[in-house]
Amino acid sequence: MKPNAIAGEARCPDDPALTSEESQAVGSPAPESEPAAVPVVDPCAPDTWESVADQLPADELLYDLADLFKIFADTTRIKILYALLVDEMCVACIAETVGASQSAVSHQLRVLKQSRLVKFRRQGKQVIYSLADEHVHHILAQGMSHICE
């Protein structure tokens, strides 16, 4: 995280958002006789929060996003998604891979299908499951990256 000078915190001298004067002030200590003037911004000022509020997505989209993230709150579903990252599989293979019953895997696959995270195709009498698209891979990769930092 980059430090921020706006709220009176230190800021990195190489920050591209700094003006040349700010960069000089951050890069070298200010003379003792003249303290550097730091602009004070009130983060609770109405113009600040109103501007932010105008940029929020619609409530319906936020509810949908919250529901999507709830899907990732189950370890069995995460295991199934990781198994499908490697290869497409039938329910029996997924169950063996993740160490769950076929019934439990079928139930979780139904939830994942309804959330459009997995898709399926029929191959004779078998149903073969795979990840719906690259977004699922990116969500898992970003989540793993975040917890491993």
Tens of pLDDT along 48-68?
Answer: 778 888 889 999 999 999 999
DSSP 100: -
**CB-based contacts of 132: which residues, under 8 Å, 6+ apart?**
116, 117, 118, 119
**What is the predicted pLDDT for the residue at 48?**
76
**Short-list 113, 118, 119, 95, CA closest to 105:** 95
**What is the predicted pLDDT for the residue at 40?**
72
> C-alpha angle with apex 2: 25 to 145, nearest 5 degrees?
165
37-48 as b/e, with b when 16 or more CB fall inside 10 Å?
eeeeeeeeeeee
**What is the predicted pLDDT for the residue at 5?**
38
**What is the predicted pLDDT for the residue at 32?**
63
Low-confidence ranges of the chain (pLDDT < 50): 1-14, 18, 22-23, 25-28
**What is the predicted pLDDT for the residue at 36?**
73
Yes or no: say if 83 and 97 are a contact pair by the CB < 8 Å rule. Answer: yes
